[in-house]
Structure 1
Amino acid sequence: MIRVLIVDDEALVRAGLRMILGPAEGIEVVGEAADGSGAVAAVAGHRPDVVLMDVRMPGTDGLTALKEVRRAAHPPHVVMLTTFDLDDHVHTALRHGAAGFLLKDTSPRDLAAAIRTVAEGSAMLAPRVTKRLIDVFAGLESADAVRARERLSVLTGREEEVVRALARGLPNAGIGRELAMGESTVKAHVSSALAKLGLSNRVQVALLARDAGWG
């Protein structure tokens, strides 16, 4: 059972998300919080697997809470929620370890699928958010690319191939087919790359690879 915590300052939004996720197979809503400080306390109390957290909240906002939550000994996967497809905080949230970024108009089926995806250790971005990131990275300065390539230089040749494929948005199965390796081997290379780079999830690896121009 995937344990989910809902964080949003609007009670109606929290109630709506709870209603959507209630019937979802394999998902249990274990708690709610109305702001970022409440989210940090609720994570400690409920030990959720996944946190659905609004970006913009009064008091302690979602980005601040995200940083605190990710410092926990066993941090949950955090999916940030927003009503804006051009939210300026997308890039910052992903840099701070968010496992996903979804719009609040995401369909119930896609929301449940996103929770299952991030609970398994993968990432989930709304299509419009992905488009925004591509547009941002298209304008990166060359100095950023140089620094990114220097960080990535610690990878082995095979790890680099996997990360390059990951940066193009391929799932593990697709990477395995392209590089003629099993999914378990792909996962092992991704885990090794994460450890060497000091990153917490594959979204961060993909962003770094895009910085380097590998996308």
Structure 2
Amino acid sequence: MIRVAIVDDQALVRQGIASLLSLTSGFTLAWQESDGHGALNKLKQQPVDVLLLDVRMPNMDGIELLTRLRQHDSHTRVVMLTTFDEPELFIEAMQRGANGFLLKDIDSDKLASALSQVHEGQTLAEPVLLGQLTKAQLATFADPNIEPLNERELSIVKLMAAGYTNKEIASAVFLAEGTVKNHVSVILAKLNTKDRTRAVLKALSAGLLGD
């Protein structure tokens, strides 16, 4: 059972996500809080596997809470939630150590999939956010140490950029899921990261995925 906590200053949002989780097997809602200060105190008493964290909150916002968590070597997986499709917030959250970044209009199936992926150690981001990044913003992820990708690897990283899971990629390119997983491992090594989202960002910054 994956233990989840929700931190959002809007009660209706918390209630809505809590309702979605209650209908989804494999998850349990540990607690809810309305701001970062309350969440920090709760985490000391009741650690969770995944923290769903609003970006914009009074008193202590999501970015500041994330920063404090990472300063104390917290390994809690953090998924940022926002109604604002602002790429600069996405970049800041990723640089501060977020494991995912989702828009609040996510549906129940996508939320469950996202929480499972993050819990398993993957990272994720809404494809719409990736598509909004400017060249200057992408430049912050440039890496001179990446290696060239072959044609198959490029086709797979493009699907990663579109938000496909390994299972969905396997179906799209007619390969076994295990084979796709091996390809993804090679892609991450070539792009000098252990992080799928940062792999996509590095590929975008290097112009590997086209315009």
Q: TM-score, normalised by structure 1?
A: 0.74
Distance 2:86 2:61 in 1: 18
Equivalent residue for 2:136, pick from 140, 151, 175: 140
- What amino acid sits opposite 2:67 in the alignment? K
Gaps of 5+ in 2: none
Partner of 2:50: 50
**What is the number of residues matched between the two proteins?**
203
Q: Shift in Å at residue 69 of structure 1?
A: 2.3
Equivalent residue for 2:157, pick from 166, 187, 207: 166
Partner of 2:39: 39
Instruction: Tell me how large the CA RMSD over aligned residues is.
Output: 3.5
- Give the fraction of aligned pairs with identical amino acids, expressed as a percent: 32
Given that 1:97 and 1:204 are in contact with CA atoms closer than 8 Å, whether structure 2 keeps it comes out as no
Distance 1:86 1:47 in 2: 30
SS of the residue corresponding to residue 202 of structure 2 reads: helix
Distance 2:136 2:196 in 1: 20
Distance 1:151 1:37 in 2: 40
Partner of 1:131: 128
Q: Shift in Å at residue 108 of structure 1?
A: 2.5
Q: Over residues 25-72 of structure 1, what are the superposed CA-to-partner deviations in whole Å (9 max), with x where a residue is unaligned?
A: 000111222212333333333221111110000111101111222345
Partner of 1:212: 206
1:61–1:6 Cα change, 3 Å: same
Distance 2:137 2:184 in 1: 31
Q: TM-score, normalised by structure 2?
A: 0.75
Q: Shift in Å at residue 150 of structure 1?
A: 1.3
- What amino acid sits opposite 1:118 in the alignment? V
Q: Over residues 85-138 of structure 1, what are the superposed CA-to-partner deviations in whole Å (9 max), with x where a residue is unaligned?
A: 346412211232322222222222322222122222233333xxx23422324x
